[in-house]
Structure 1
Amino acid sequence: MTSSRMDTAAPPNATASRAQRREQTRQQILDAARALFADRGYLETTIRAIAQRAGVDPALVMQHFGAKSALFDAVSGIAITLDDALEGPPEQLGERLLRHALADVDRKEDRTMPVLRSMLTHPEAAHAVRCAIVNPETSPWTRVLAGPDADRRSALIGTLVLGVLVARYMVHIPGVADAPAERLVELLGPCLRPLVMAGLPPGLAAADGALEALAEAENARAAAAAQVDEYARTALAAGASYGDIGRVLGMSRQAARKRWPNAQDEAS
Structure 2
Amino acid sequence: MMGVAKRDEIRNAAGRLFRERGFARTAVRDIAALAQTSPALVIRHFGTKELLFLDTMRLTIDDEPLLDVPLEELGERFIEVMVTSGDDVRQVYLALVRGSHEPQIRERLRDIHETTLIAPLRARLRGDDADQRVRMAGALVGGLLYALWVVGDERLGDEDLVARYGALLQDVLTGPTSRRPTGGSRR
TM bracket, shorter-chain basis = 0.7 to 0.9
Q: Deviations over 1:195-242 (max 9, x none)?
A: 1123x9x7xx3xx5227x6xx9xxxxxxxxxxxxxxxxxxxxxxxxxx
- 1:51–1:61 contact (8 Å) kept in structure 2: yes
Q: 1:91 aligns with which of 72, 87, 91?
A: 72
1:160 is matched with which residue? 140
The residue type equivalent to 1:209 in the other structure is: R
Query: 1:106–1:62: structure 2 CA closer, same or farther, 3 Å change rule?
Result: same
The DSSP-based 3-state class of the residue aligned with 1:147 is coil
Q: Deviations over 1:162-208 (max 9, x none)?
A: 222222223212213xx26x64212211111221123x9x7xx3xx5
TM-score (norm 2): 0.80
Query: 1:183–1:124: structure 2 CA closer, same or farther, 3 Å change rule?
Result: farther
TM-score (norm 1): 0.58
2:163 is matched with which residue? 186
Give the ranges of 4+ consecutive aligned residues of structure 1 lying more than 6 Å apart after TM superposition.
none
The residue type equivalent to 1:163 in the other structure is: G
Query: 1:136–1:101: structure 2 CA closer, same or farther, 3 Å change rule?
Result: closer
* Structure 2 runs not aligned, ≥5 long: none
The DSSP-based 3-state class of the residue aligned with 1:104 is coil
The DSSP-based 3-state class of the residue aligned with 1:44 is coil
Matched, 1:209 2:180: yes
Pairs aligned (count): 186
1:197 is matched with which residue? 174
Between the two proteins, what is the percent identity of the paired residues? 29
Q: Where do 1:128-147 residues align within 5 Å? A: 128-135=108-115, 139-147=119-127
Deviation at 1:121, TM superposition (A): 1.4
CA distance in 1, matches of 2:47, 2:98: 22
Q: Deviations over 1:16-62 (max 9, x none)?
A: xxx24x34432332222112222333233321232233332211211
Matched, 1:80 2:61: yes
CA distance in 2, matches of 1:209, 1:109: 34
The DSSP-based 3-state class of the residue aligned with 2:85 is helix
CA distance in 1, matches of 2:113, 2:122: 9
Matched, 1:173 2:153: yes
The residue type equivalent to 1:154 in the other structure is: V
Q: Which has the higher contact order (CA 8 A, sep 6+)?
A: 2
Matched, 1:65 2:79: no
Deviation at 1:122, TM superposition (A): 2.4
Q: Deviations over 1:123-162 (max 9, x none)?
A: 2332233233335997221122233432121112112212
CA distance in 1, matches of 2:26, 2:53: 10
- 1:34–1:76 contact (8 Å) kept in structure 2: yes
Matched, 1:44 2:17: no
The residue type equivalent to 2:39 in the other structure is: P
Deviation at 1:75, TM superposition (A): 0.4
CA distance in 2, matches of 1:55, 1:32: 9
Deviation at 1:66, TM superposition (A): 1.8
- 2:118–2:138 contact (8 Å) kept in structure 1: no
The residue type equivalent to 2:22 in the other structure is: G
Q: Between Structure 1 and Structure 2, whose CA radius of gyration is higher?
A: 1
